[in-house]
Structure 1
Amino acid sequence: MSSRRRFGGRMVLAATASVMALAVTGCGGGDDGGDGVASAGGDKTGAQASRSSSSELAEYVEAQRKWVTCLRDEGLDAPDPDSKGKVDLGDRSKWKRDPKALRAQEKCSDLSVPVPESVEKAQQPELTAGEIRKNQQYAQCMQEHGAPDFPDAGADGHFRDVTWDSTSAGAKRATRSCASIIGIPDDAPTPKG
């Protein structure tokens, strides 16, 4: 993995505590930061963007069904995706240790697709005014204490999906300085870069 990491809006405050370690769905369930999928927008009208979003969701859910079917064909007990394409695999660490699950994941990997940006945005929880303020303060603190490329929090409180260097000395210093804003004790261990 390079020294640059993705930080997307899907990250919750707990992920922020681990210095934005990339949240990956356990079996490659389609979460790769949203790369490679165009989002609805550009010069499209709101109705066109909404239709495009609905179409992306339907395509994503269908792709997830095919992936789950493949896993089942390989002998795994995988649940159906929900209406937004999420597949609840339970204890993901079990899936990462089980040789049968690893073989199935490898065999079905070509059916695993990234979460479209429009679907990802629709799945983000709505934050309270306090959570929004906390995320905005955290972003500002990080930028002022050594991580100038840390993503800003938008008006909705979710962090913008940008690449930033979480391994630099400044980023590590900023993480220690700002951890208390998001409820992480000052003496919590920081990830190694």
Structure 2
Amino acid sequence: MNKASVLLAASAAALALTVTGCGGSGDAKSGSSGSNPTLEKAVKYAQCMRENGVTNFPDPNKNGRFVIAAGGPNRNSPQFKKAQQACKSQEPPGITDDPAEIAKDQKEWLKFAQCMRKNGIQDFPDPQDGRLLVPRDKINVNSPQFKKALNACRDVAHVGGGAEDGNG
């Protein structure tokens, strides 16, 4: 995995599939969290994960979602799993390690990937473990062609977490 890759979180949160390419940091500190309970919970979860040893766990974006880029926390490490268990009560909606949910997301993201390829994004990858890893050195998520394909495929996958390019 290279640094030009970005993890696209595929979770079961009740959010529409979007790709953000807006300016600014996009983290929770740049917006008000007073009116968004999901964001508030996500901020607390991120703090808990860091307090429990995952020091490079990211802040959520303004929508309460986590964008974990290449080089981010290792979800398979014992420290991550220990912190995840310790922070379970603060887990925001949409974060899951449930094998049934991951399998469901895998199928949905596969449909989405196939649709993106059908609509002109030939290098769009298949999901892995219910998540998408998009090589940004091969795919420009801000291009008109990508946005057109995304619009055509928006309703294909019914996973909730959404897709983010990490620039958000």
TM-score (norm 2): 0.46
When Rg is computed on C-alpha atoms for both structures, the one with the higher figure is 1
Identify which of structures 1 and 2 has the higher relative contact order when contacts are C-alpha pairs closer than 8 Å and 6+ apart: 2
